[in-house]
Amino acid sequence: MLTQVKVGPNVITVNLGHVFMVSDLDGSIRASADQGLFASDVRFLSHYRYRINGRPWRLLTSAPTTHTSARFRFTNRALQSATGAIPRHVIGFTVERAVFEDCVREDLVLTNYSEAPASLTLELEVGIDFADVFEVRRHHMRFHRLIEAQWEERRQHLRAEYAHDGYRAAFTYHFTHGDTPARREGYALLFDLTLPAGGRWQARAEMSPEMNGGTFPAFPEGGRTSPGQREAQMQLWREASMRTATSDDTLTYTLRQSAEDLFSLLLDDTQPPGTPAVLAAGVPWFVALFGRDSLIAGLQTLMLNRSFALGALAQLAKYQAIASDDFRDADPGKIAHELRAGELARLGLIPHTPYYGSADATILYPILLHEAYQWTGDRGLLTTYLPVAGRCLKWIDAYGDMDGDGFQEYKTRSPRGIKHQGWKDSGDGVVYDDGRPVEPPVALCELQGYVYDAKLRMAALYEAAGDGDRPGTLREEADRLRGRFNDAFWMSGKGTYAFGLDARKHQIASVVSNAGHCLWSGIAPPSRADKVAARLMEPDMWSGWGIRTLSADHPAFNPFAYQRGAVWPHDNALIALGCRRYGQTRAVARIARGILDAAAAFQSYRLPELLAGLTRDRIDFPTEYLGVNIPQAWAAASAFSLVQVLLGLQPDAPRGRLYVAPALPPWLRTIEIENLRVGTAHVALRCWREGDRCRWEVSQLTGSLEVVPAEEWAPLPASD
């Protein structure tokens, strides 16, 4: 008998733009459990609980109904009241929770299903702490906050205010409607009522955060967006995006959920499809602009909808550094890592205004610009963003190479800076092969590959822009870097690239997934690429759900560690892109199947930020990482990268072409895609397996586009 297991988070999250609320499955909030109602990096509601006659309700069921709403259903335990006993399970209590641009609304409904009246007290415990999101994550409060709270019974609202050194925040819990009035007692708001037999009672509460004197964010033009209007807006995004149907239900459902997750992460969901749109990196901890995350998610989703790439290019250009600033790890031309707006940032206690402690975001920007140009053919992108990317190149050479040896290194200058600044940016994520931590400066292997790729792509962009001098120079620099890199980073005894070089230019000889990014960038020669792909698929790296971040044979391996053994979908998707580049289609198929099997076991086929690196067995299911972000932009976007790899899609919109080279594995008989945008054209494709061969056809084409078969996947079409 086959048993299907569904794994999911033990919290309920609703989110819209910069406002989100994370609670237990019973709707309650515990300050010690990284929960709360947050807006603009501040936790406003830190404790929340429903009670009846001083006792907890019994949860029947709960679930999110959309990304902005959730429903909770409860019943009572056996109770005593002033009018007598209330048998168990005769009172129904339903909470409908919905997040809006400026508040969270709850509709509370009580129903008496007994044949006798029931006297009861409904209690809502409300705790407010105005903690910064960084304090919540670290479980450490920087200072004690003096909060003034006042209950106005006539207006039926509880208002709390806090001020510190020019920073002000407020929170209002307001009953806009109630069949009976509430009263306050300590931390609780209480309704004393008698429900007749078959009777029903209801109230509506709105929880409104405010910062510096105004609601955040302010109402969009035209006022608060209704649930119906939000759904209509989401439908516009669905219709404007690529749609996919496949013979593999897991892939079909994962793509559908991943698209919904990406739409839910829009920081401004009033933006119409087709315009630049910025994604939050993830909920709950990364509801903000992140450089690396935005750029990678933009790369992964160009086939789905170009808006996310265009939004990343536009927004990050606005924050490109123009001067050096040690506190923020900034230098001219550098792309921001993270932008925050909470109290600690506003008071200058953390450098995230924005913070620039990322070694790869500046390199990834030119890569995304080139890829966006390949998909859109829009020369306006070159006019607007080529100068930004040019400044990125200057940063790469002048500041990214800290000691002038031709490699990219990082080391924070900020007392509040991030120690490790590659995509593995946890403090313990970079380790020697004996398990010792590595101290910066560090030259990670993938950074060198990114620079190689960026310079080749920038050469192509300058060529397209008519700049005759730079392309040749950049290609020569890329070629020299490739030679130096392969001399310094290759570990012949291990058949892969070193994690990086340490401060003494010694190899960090750990076997890690980062080496797979060197396939994506193309810096590896084919003979070594084949060895790297094979090494990544060995049992110590391959968990069964995907490639681990660190070998299971490593002394520092921990399947539950953030970046020392866990499996990350986006990491695997980039490695799959690299494997396809070198014709490693079996590795691609295996990675795709592992990630999809994990998705099938998660609730709603939703890919989490990461999962534990435990070895899969015959009857196993994936283990969710504690404190994971769900939804998360580059995890959701990974599903579309896998489709691009399996179909071998490579756009060349400037020349009006789309290259197709499908490599469908045996478990995937067909893929059909509709509304794929390349340049100004819209194309629908059908790909299928026929015996051991893959075939494809154009089923619909609107606009001027030549769809071209390709024997091999060509990430960089040759210049004319």
Give how far Cα 574 sits from Cα of 518, 521, 522, Å: 10, 9, 12
pLDDT band at residue 219 using 50, 70 and 90 as cut-offs? very low
Same structural domain, 253 and 192: no
Is residue 35 one of the residues assigned to a domain? yes
Instruction: Tell me the three-class secondary structure of 49-92, residue by residue.
Output: EEEECCEECEEEEEEEEECCEEEEEEECCCEEECCEEECCCCEE
Same structural domain, 204 and 349: no
Is residue 211 one of the residues assigned to a domain? yes
- The DSSP bridge pattern shows strands 657-660 and 650-652 to be antiparallel
Same structural domain, 520 and 413: yes
Q: pLDDT at position 713, please?
A: 64
Containing structural domain, residue 594: 227-652
Same structural domain, 181 and 256: no
Same structural domain, 63 and 102: yes
Interval 23-52: pLDDT, tens? 999 999 998 888 999 999 999 999 999 999
Same structural domain, 173 and 309: no
Closest to 246 (Cα-Cα) out of 662, 576, 573, 631: 662
Residues 6+ apart with CB under 8 A from 466: none
Is residue 450 one of the residues assigned to a domain? yes
Is residue 421 one of the residues assigned to a domain? yes
CATH of the domain at 591: 1.50.10.10
Same structural domain, 151 and 231: no
Q: Domain ends where: 170, 190, 215? A: 215
Interval 357-366: pLDDT, tens? 999 999 999 9
Same structural domain, 64 and 24: yes
Q: pLDDT at position 223, please?
A: 59
Q: Is the pLDDT of residue 428 over 70?
A: yes
Give how far Cα 533 sits from Cα of 384, 517, 588, 687, Å: 38, 11, 10, 26
Is residue 695 one of the residues assigned to a domain? no
Q: Domain ends where: 148, 181, 215? A: 215
Q: Is the pLDDT of residue 220 over 70?
A: no
Same structural domain, 541 and 599: yes
Q: pLDDT at position 70, please?
A: 97
Average of per-residue pLDDT values in the chain:
94
User: Are the beta carbons of 379 and 353 closer than 8 angstroms?
Assistant: no
Same structural domain, 157 and 284: no
Q: pLDDT at position 32, please?
A: 85
Q: What would the DSSP string read from start to end of 431-463?
A: B-TTSPBPPSPBEEHHHHHHHHHHHHHHHHHHH
- The domain total for the chain is 2
Q: How many residues does the chain have?
A: 720
Q: pLDDT at position 471, please?
A: 96
Is residue 667 one of the residues assigned to a domain? no
Q: Burial level of 131, CB count in 10 A (0-12/13-18/19+)? A: buried
pLDDT band at residue 502 using 50, 70 and 90 as cut-offs? very high
184: β partners: 189
Q: State the pTM of this model.
A: 0.95
Q: Is the pLDDT of residue 212 over 90?
A: no
CATH of the domain at 19: 2.70.98.40
Is residue 289 one of the residues assigned to a domain? yes
- The whole-number average pLDDT for the span 146-157 is 95
Q: Is the pLDDT of residue 215 over 60?
A: no
Q: Give the E-state strand segments of 404-540 in sequence order.
A: 443-444, 490-491, 496-497, 500-501, 507-508
Q: What would the DSSP string read from start to end of 645-707?
A: HHHT-EEEGGGTEEEE-----TT--EEEEEEEEETTEEEEEEEEEETTEEEEEEEEEESS-EE
What is d(CA 226, CA 661) in angstroms, rounded to the nearest whole number? 44
Q: pLDDT at position 225, please?
A: 74
Same structural domain, 470 and 567: yes
Q: Domain ends where: 158, 185, 215? A: 215
pLDDT band at residue 720 using 50, 70 and 90 as cut-offs? very low
Q: pLDDT at position 216, please?
A: 53
Same structural domain, 158 and 305: no
Q: Is the pLDDT of residue 308 over 70?
A: yes
Q: Is the pLDDT of residue 719 over 50?
A: no
Q: pLDDT at position 226, please?
A: 77
What is d(CA 177, CA 183) in angstroms, rounded to the nearest whole number? 14
What is the longest distance spanned by two Cα atoms in the chain?
90
The single-letter DSSP state of residue 624 is B
What is d(CA 174, CA 302) in angstroms, rounded to the nearest whole number? 43
Interval 7-25: pLDDT, tens? 878 899 999 999 999 999 9
Interval 49-94: pLDDT, tens? 999 999 999 999 999 999 999 999 999 999 988 778 999 999 999 9
Is residue 221 one of the residues assigned to a domain? no
What is d(CA 144, CA 136) in angstroms, rounded to the nearest whole number? 14
What is d(CA 649, CA 550) in angstroms, rounded to the nearest whole number? 30
Q: Is the pLDDT of residue 540 over 60?
A: yes
Interval 314-348: pLDDT, tens? 999 999 999 999 999 999 999 999 999 999 999 99
